[in-house]
Amino acid sequence: MKPNTKLNRIYHGMILRCYDTNRSAFKNYGGRGITVCDDWNNREKVPSADNATKGWLLFKEWAIEHGYKEGLTLDRIDNNKGYSPENCRWVTRMVQMNNTRRNRFVEYKGVSKTLSEWCRELELNYDKVERRINKLGWSVEKALETK
């Protein structure tokens, strides 16, 4: 792969978020202990046209074998663990947005989903439902069932 591919940018973004203290995202990644596994972070150069590292080549191989394609994002399954083959997957932007620490999970009819997932499923305005629960103090049931 050429060095300036989308996959290469994803790889370098992951490394920078975890190790470059000058990056604004560092506080949410490396600053709270999120790291990249030793294999993917292996910075030993290998003979190649683009002067690649072992880490990049191992990441690229994993990515291709695990369904990487344009339009997908790298997602950590457990947001409290680092980047590794066991904890990463390729997902759509919507799936990734539902897997963040900021999400609010609510239980409705015995099922737990994020508030945004419930609103999409029930075709409700998220801001309105969120306001009902947080500002007006409505129950989840009332907020989701009132049109």
pLDDT reported for residue 4: 63
Q: What is the DSSP letter of 8?
A: H
pLDDT reported for residue 1: 42
121 and 74 belong to one structural domain: no
The DSSP string of 65-126 is: HTT--TT-EEEESSTTS-B-TTTEEEE-HHHHHTSSTT--EEEETTEEEEHHHHHHHHT--H
Q: Residue 30 to residues 33, 81, 119: CA-CA distances in angstroms?
A: 5, 11, 33
20 and 87 belong to one structural domain: yes
51 and 31 belong to one structural domain: yes
Within a domain: 1 = no
**Residue 53 is inside which H or E element, if any?**
none
Task: Read off the pLDDT of residues 41-87 as tens digits, 9 standing for 90 and up.
Answer: 999 998 876 779 999 999 999 999 999 998 899 999 998 999 999 99
Q: Residue 135 to residues 61, 114, 142: CA-CA distances in angstroms?
A: 48, 18, 14
Task: Give me the domain span that covers residue 138.
Answer: 105-145
Averaged pLDDT score across all residues of the chain: 89
61 and 115 belong to one structural domain: no
Is 2 a residue whose pLDDT tops 60? no
pLDDT reported for residue 3: 58
Smallest Cα–Cα separation from 7: which of 61, 86, 50? 61
* Top-confidence residue, 31 or 98: 31
Encoded amino acid at 128, one letter:
K
Smallest Cα–Cα separation from 13: which of 32, 26, 27, 31? 26
pTM (predicted TM-score): 0.70
80 and 133 belong to one structural domain: no
Within a domain: 138 = yes
Q: Residue 12 to residues 41, 43, 78, 135: CA-CA distances in angstroms?
A: 10, 12, 20, 41
Q: What angle do CA 89, 90, 96 make, to 5 degrees?
A: 90
Task: Read off the pLDDT of residues 16-40 as tens digits, 9 standing for 90 and up.
Answer: 999 999 999 999 999 999 999 999 9
CA–CA gap between residue 144 and residue 147 (Å, rounded): 8
Q: Count other Cβ atoms within 10 Å, centred on residue 63.
A: 20
